[in-house]
Amino acid sequence: MKLKGCIFDLDGVIVDTARYHSLAWKRLADQLKIHFSEEDNERLKGVSRMDSLDIILEIGNMRLNEELRKEYASLKNRWYIEYISRMTPDEILPGSLEFIKELKEAGIKVAIGSASKNTPLILERVGMENLFDAVADGNRISKAKPDPEVFLTAAKMLGIEPVRIAVFEDAVAGVRAALNAGMICIGVGSSGILSEAHSVIPGLNKINLKKLEKIVKLSGYE
């Protein structure tokens, strides 16, 4: 098959915002007096804002009414926005820009597929607001990863069939969403955690178009 498009998750793949999410959730957990470990934090990656809050409340064995849940989720988001508002293009993860430019020069369309409602702000802060052919984010979708909605939306916006698309993801829920969409998936991070992906790379500085085409071929997508 000929690869026609690539979809990138944003948080943890293109930019290191995963640490800002983590800082803001930790601050909220401390306020609620809930102990929140590194492993717990892994469970929040790729998961929507409300679902992340529910995971933290579950860890703390705490139940809150709808109104308070919304209040705490927006408190976390206010803190998160404080952190990301100070972001600069220096926080683009190594290799991202070079790889995306290589794909575009080869005529491969590129899109963002992120659960985050803060996607437009982040892209603007790091100077990537005009780089992508399509941006599918948390403002456009209603079903969180591992549901394939965000990636299928991006595919539709690009006008490309899912089987001709490769997704780059750092979260287990995101890898599952890509596979559920019928796309090839490259995990970005640790192969121990992202073992369900077709292939795993430590970061976008470890891939180029030639290597990607090889992965596509080996995955039996041809």
Smallest gap, in angstroms, from Cβ of residue 181 to ligand BG6? 16
- Tell whether residue 113 is a contact of Mg ion (CB under 5 A): no
**Quick check: is 9 catalytic?**
yes
10 Å Cβ neighbour count for 12? 21
- C-alpha triplet 15, 18, 20: angle, nearest 5°: 100
Catalytic residue among 11, 40, 137, 170: 11
Smallest gap, in angstroms, from Cβ of residue 180 to Mg ion? 16
The token pair at 172 is 């287990």
Give the whole-angstrom CA distance, residue 44 versus residue 21: 9
Question: Binder to Mg ion among 171, 173, 177, 200 (CB under 5 A)?
Answer: 171
Residue nearest Mg ion, CB atom distance: 12
Question: Binding mask 105-124 vs ligand BG6 (x if CB under 6 A, - otherwise)?
Answer: ---------xxxxx------
Q: Among the residues of 91-168, which ranges form H helices?
A: 96-105, 119-125, 149-158
Query: Which residues does 69 contact at the CB level (< 8 Å), separation at least 6?
Result: 50, 53, 54, 57
> Residue 111: phi, psi to the nearest 5?
-140, 165
Window of 46-54, 61-69, 176-184, 209-217 that interacts with ligand BG6 by CB under 6 A: 46-54
Active site residues per annotation: 9, 11
Residues in contact with ligand BG6 by CB under 6 A are 10-11, 21, 44-49, 52, 77, 114-118, 138, 171
